[in-house]
Chain A
Amino acid sequence: MSAPGTVSFSLRRIGVIAELTVLEAVRQRLFGVLLVLAAGMIAGAQLLREFNFGSSELKFITDFGFGAVTLFGTILAVVTAAQLFFAEIENRTALTLLAKPVFRAEFVLGKFAGVAAVLALFVGVTTGVLVAVLWMREQSLMASVPEAFERGRLVQYGSVVAFGALQWLKFSVIAALTLVIAGFANTNLYSVVISFLVVLICHLQYLAHESWRRMASGVGRTAAMLLAAVFPNFQMFNVGDRVAAGQAIDPVVLGGSAAYGALYLAVFLALAVYVFRRREI
Chain B
Amino acid sequence: MFSGVVRSRATTLLVVLVVLGVAGWTGARVGAGAWAVLRADMPVLTSADIEAAAGEGIMVGLLGGFRAVTADFLWVRANAVWEEQDIPGTQTLIKLVTAVDSRPLLFWINGSRMIGYDMPVWRIDAAAREGDAMPAVVQARVYAEQARAAISLLERARVYHPEEALLVIEIANLRHRKLGDLAGAAELYRQAARLPGAPYYAARIHAEMLRQLGRERDAWAWLVEVHRGLPREDPMAMAEIVLGRIRELEERLHLTEGERYAPRAERLPVGGQ
Contacts and interface: CB of A to CB of B under 8 A. Distances in A.
Question: Quick check: do A and B touch in the complex, using CB within 8 A?
Answer: yes
B72 to A, nearest CB: 5
A241 B41 contact: yes
A260 B27 contact: yes
Contact of A230 (B21, B68, B236): B21
B73 to A, nearest CB: 9
B239 to A, nearest CB: 15
B38 A263 contact: no
B248 to A, nearest CB: 25
B39 interface: yes
Interface residues of B, number: 43
Interface string A130-170: 00000000000000000100100000000000000000000
B16 A239 contact: no
5 contacts: A67-B68, A70-B65, A229-B25, A234-B65, A241-B67
B149 interface: no
Interface string B2-19: 100001010011011101
Contact of A236 (B15, B38, B66): B38
A222 B56 CA distance: 31
Contacts of A70: 65-66
Interface in B9-57: 9, 12-13, 15-17, 19-21, 23-27, 30-35, 37-39, 41-42
Contacts of A259: 30-31
B26 A263 contact: yes
B104 interface: yes
B138 interface: no
Given A200-B64, A263-B30, A271 B24 contact: no
A188 interface: no
B258 to A, nearest CB: 37
B69 interface: yes
The 6 A-B pairs with the shortest beta carbon distances in the complex, nearest first, are: A256-B34, A67-B69, A260-B31, A267-B23, A56-B106, A253-B34
Contacts of A253: 33-34, 37-38
B63 interface: yes
Interface stretch (A107-115, A121-129, A242-250): A242-250
A236 B29 CA distance: 13
Given A60-B72, A233-B35, 13 more contacts: A56-B104, A56-B106, A70-B66, A180-B16, A206-B39, A229-B25, A232-B23, A245-B104, A252-B37, A253-B33, A271-B20, A274-B15, A275-B12
A85 interface: no
A231 interface: yes
Interface in A56-72: 56, 59-60, 63-64, 66-67, 70-71
A53 B75 CA distance: 10
